[in-house]
Amino acid sequence: MSQELNTIRASFVELAGSATQSFGAGRVIGQIFAHLYLCREVQSLDDLTEALGISKGSASMSVRQLEQWGALKKVWKKGDRKDYYEATEDWGKFMRKAMLDSIAQHMERTEEVLRQTDVLLKQSDPQVCKEELKFVKKRIKRFTQFKERVQWVWDKVMLGMLMK
């Protein structure tokens, strides 16, 4: 086996690992995907465990996550009880899911807070802290505009990446 190929795989595994890590999806997910992406042969759980130096439990859970993301295909070999895996060619599908997973609920949470804020502002006595109230309203309006711009961009980005 070529030394160069192994070095290349190692860099990719590390790179993808730290990418998924920083999206809050865990290092192992990225490592497994990258490894499979650069392996022509389908790989069993044990192969992954050995190649990446991770535990079986970790491999099992991450593989399932990747499968749910559709970044992975399970391959059956007849007469063999092991499951084998191969990566889809589509790196985009993998990264997109990793990012969505971590960002979508931030968006939702933000909307929730803005809704709640609206309710509270309507409840508040307009005679109390008049200036402060005006100030806060102005700032929240400004933030809302910002958030809408972000969301617009985000949707465009996602859309753009979804259609390859």
The binder of 19, among a second copy, DNA, none, by C-beta within 5 to 8 A per type, is: a second copy
Min dist. Cβ of residue 82 to a second copy (A):
22
Q: Are strands 43-44 and 72-76 parallel, antiparallel or unpaired?
A: unpaired
SS3 44: strand
Residue from 58, 65, 72, 97 in contact with DNA (CB under 7 A): 58
Residue from 24, 139, 141, 142 in contact with DNA (CB under 7 A): 24
Which of 41, 74, 71, 46 shows the shortest CA–CA distance to 58? Answer: 46
Residue from 45, 107, 114, 136 in contact with DNA (CB under 7 A): 45
Site string for a second copy, 31-60 (x = CB under 8 A): ------xx-x--------------------
Alpha helices in the chain (DSSP H): 3-22, 27-37, 45-52, 56-69, 91-123, 130-162
d(CA 73, CA 67): 7
- Cα Rg of the chain, angstroms: 23
The binder of 146, among DNA, a second copy, none, by C-beta within 5 to 8 A per type, is: a second copy
Question: Binding to a second copy by residue 102, rule CB under 8 A?
Answer: yes
Local structure of residue 121 (DSSP, 8 states): H
Binding footprint of DNA on the chain (CB under 7 A): 21, 24-28, 44-46, 53-58, 60-61, 63-64, 79, 81-83
